[in-house]
Structure 1
Amino acid sequence: MFRALDTPQTWIVTLSAAGILLITMGARQSLGLFVAPLNAGIGVDIASISLALAIGQFVWGAIQPFAGALADRFGPERVLYGGLALLAVGSAITPWSGGTLGLIASLGLLSAMGSGASSFSVLFGAAANRLPLEARGTASGIINAGGSFGQFIFAPILQKLIQAIGWMGAMWSLALMVLAAVPLVRNVAPASTHARPAGHGDGHGPWRSVKEAMQDRSYLLLHAGFFTCGFHIAFLVTHLPGEVNLCGLPPSVASWSLAIIGLGNVFGSLFAGNCVARYRSKYILFWMYGSRALLIALYLAAPRTDLTFYLFAAGLGFTWLATVPPTAAIVGKLFGVRHLGTLFGLTLLSHQTGGFLGAWLGGLAVTRYGDFSWMWYADMTLAGLAALVNLPIREAPVAAQPQAA
Structure 2
Amino acid sequence: MDGKARARAVKSRPAHPGFPVLIVACGCVIAALTFGPRSAMGFFQLPMLEDRPFDRNAFALALAIQNIFWGLGQPLFGAVADRYGTWRVLMMSGLTYAAGLALMATAETTGLLYLGAGVLVGLGVAAGSFGIVLAAFARNVSEEQRSLVFGIGTAAGSAGMFIFAPLSQQFIEMFGWTDALFWMAAMMLVIPLLAIPLKGTSSTGRIAPVADDQTIGEALRQAFGHRSYLLLTTGFFVCGFQVAFITAHFPAYLADIGIDADYAVVGLALIGLFNIIGSLASGVIGQRASKPALLTLIYIARSIAVTAFLLLPQTPTTVIVFSVAMGLLWLSTVAPTNALVAVMFGTKYLGMLGGIVFLSHQIGSFLGVWLGGYLRQTMGSYDPVWWIGVILGLIAAILHWPISEQRAERPIAAPAE
Give the TM-score taking structure 1 as reference length. 0.92
- Report how far residue 373 of structure 1 moved: 1.1
Q: Any conservation in 2 of the 1:286–1:386 contact (CA below 8 Å)?
A: yes
- Report how far residue 9 of structure 1 moved: 5.0
Q: Could you report, residue by residue, the CA deviation over 1:16-64 in whole angstroms, capped at 9, with x for unpaired residues?
A: 1111000100111111111111111112010011011101111111100
Q: Any conservation in 2 of the 1:241–1:251 contact (CA below 8 Å)?
A: yes
Who is 2:377 aligned against?
367
| Alignment counterpart, residue 60 of structure 2, candidates 40, 50, 55 | 50
Alpha-carbon spacing, 1:332–1:7, altered in 2? closer, same or farther (3 Å):
closer
Who is 2:395 aligned against?
385
Who is 1:105 aligned against?
115
| Alignment counterpart, residue 187 of structure 1, candidates 192, 197, 213 | 197
| Alignment counterpart, residue 333 of structure 1, candidates 327, 343, 347 | 343
Who is 2:239 aligned against?
229
Q: Any conservation in 2 of the 1:280–1:396 contact (CA below 8 Å)?
A: no
Who is 2:294 aligned against?
284
Q: Could you report, residue by residue, the CA deviation over 1:260-280 in whole angstroms, capped at 9, with x for unpaired residues?
A: 101111000100110111011
Alpha-carbon spacing, 1:186–1:193, altered in 2? closer, same or farther (3 Å):
farther
Q: Any conservation in 1 of the 2:83–2:201 contact (CA below 8 Å)?
A: no
Who is 1:203 aligned against?
213
Q: Any conservation in 2 of the 1:150–1:262 contact (CA below 8 Å)?
A: yes
Alpha-carbon spacing, 1:180–1:13, altered in 2? closer, same or farther (3 Å):
same
Who is 2:6 aligned against?
none
Q: Could you report, residue by residue, the CA deviation over 1:216-264 in whole angstroms, capped at 9, with x for unpaired residues?
A: 1111110111000000011100110111110112222112211110111
Tell me how far apart the structure 2 counterparts of residues 284 and 113 of structure 1 sit (CA, whole Å): 30
| Alignment counterpart, residue 76 of structure 2, candidates 52, 60, 66 | 66
Pair member with larger Rg: 2
Who is 2:285 aligned against?
275
Who is 2:160 aligned against?
150
Structure 1, unmatched stretches of 5+, are 1-5, 398-405
Who is 2:144 aligned against?
134
Who is 1:96 aligned against?
106
What is the letter of the counterpart of residue 296 of structure 1? V
Tell me how far apart the structure 2 counterparts of residues 201 and 63 of structure 1 sit (CA, whole Å): 28
Q: Any conservation in 2 of the 1:330–1:395 contact (CA below 8 Å)?
A: yes
What is the letter of the counterpart of residue 58 of structure 1? I
Give the TM-score taking structure 2 as reference length. 0.90
Q: Could you report, residue by residue, the CA deviation over 1:156-193 in whole angstroms, capped at 9, with x for unpaired residues?
A: 01011112211101100110122233322112225997
Structure 2, unmatched stretches of 5+, are 1-15, 408-417
What is the letter of the counterpart of residue 92 of structure 2? G
Q: Any conservation in 1 of the 2:292–2:400 contact (CA below 8 Å)?
A: yes
Count of matched residue pairs = 389
> Structure 1 residue 11 and structure 2 residue 37: aligned?
no
Tell me how far apart the structure 2 counterparts of residues 194 and 67 of structure 1 sit (CA, whole Å): 18
Who is 1:305 aligned against?
315
Tell me how far apart the structure 2 counterparts of residues 24 and 178 of structure 1 sit (CA, whole Å): 7
Superposition CA RMSD, Å: 2.0
Tell me how far apart the structure 1 counterparts of residues 182 and 339 of structure 2 sit (CA, whole Å): 37
SS of the counterpart of 1:394? coil
SS of the counterpart of 1:318? helix
Q: Which runs of 4+ in 1 moved over 4 A?
A: 6-9, 190-195
Tell me how far apart the structure 2 counterparts of residues 40 and 11 of structure 1 sit (CA, whole Å): 46
Who is 1:39 aligned against?
49
**In percent, how many aligned pairs have the same letter?**
35
Q: Any conservation in 1 of the 2:94–2:190 contact (CA below 8 Å)?
A: no
> Structure 1 residue 82 and structure 2 residue 83: aligned?
no
> Structure 1 residue 265 and structure 2 residue 285: aligned?
no
Tell me how far apart the structure 2 counterparts of residues 277 and 204 of structure 1 sit (CA, whole Å): 27
> Structure 1 residue 114 and structure 2 residue 124: aligned?
yes
Q: Any conservation in 2 of the 1:15–1:142 contact (CA below 8 Å)?
A: no
SS of the counterpart of 2:20? helix
- Report how far residue 360 of structure 1 moved: 0.2
Tell me how far apart the structure 2 counterparts of residues 192 and 369 of structure 1 sit (CA, whole Å): 49
> Structure 1 residue 24 and structure 2 residue 21: aligned?
no
Tell me how far apart the structure 2 counterparts of residues 139 and 171 of structure 1 sit (CA, whole Å): 31
- Report how far residue 207 of structure 1 moved: 3.7
| Alignment counterpart, residue 356 of structure 2, candidates 322, 331, 346 | 346
Who is 1:160 aligned against?
170
Q: Any conservation in 1 of the 2:97–2:125 contact (CA below 8 Å)?
A: yes
Which range moves more in the overlay, 127-136 or 291-300?
127-136
Tell me how far apart the structure 2 counterparts of residues 172 and 255 of structure 1 sit (CA, whole Å): 20
Tell me how far apart the structure 2 counterparts of residues 315 and 44 of structure 1 sit (CA, whole Å): 33
Alpha-carbon spacing, 1:363–1:18, altered in 2? closer, same or farther (3 Å):
same
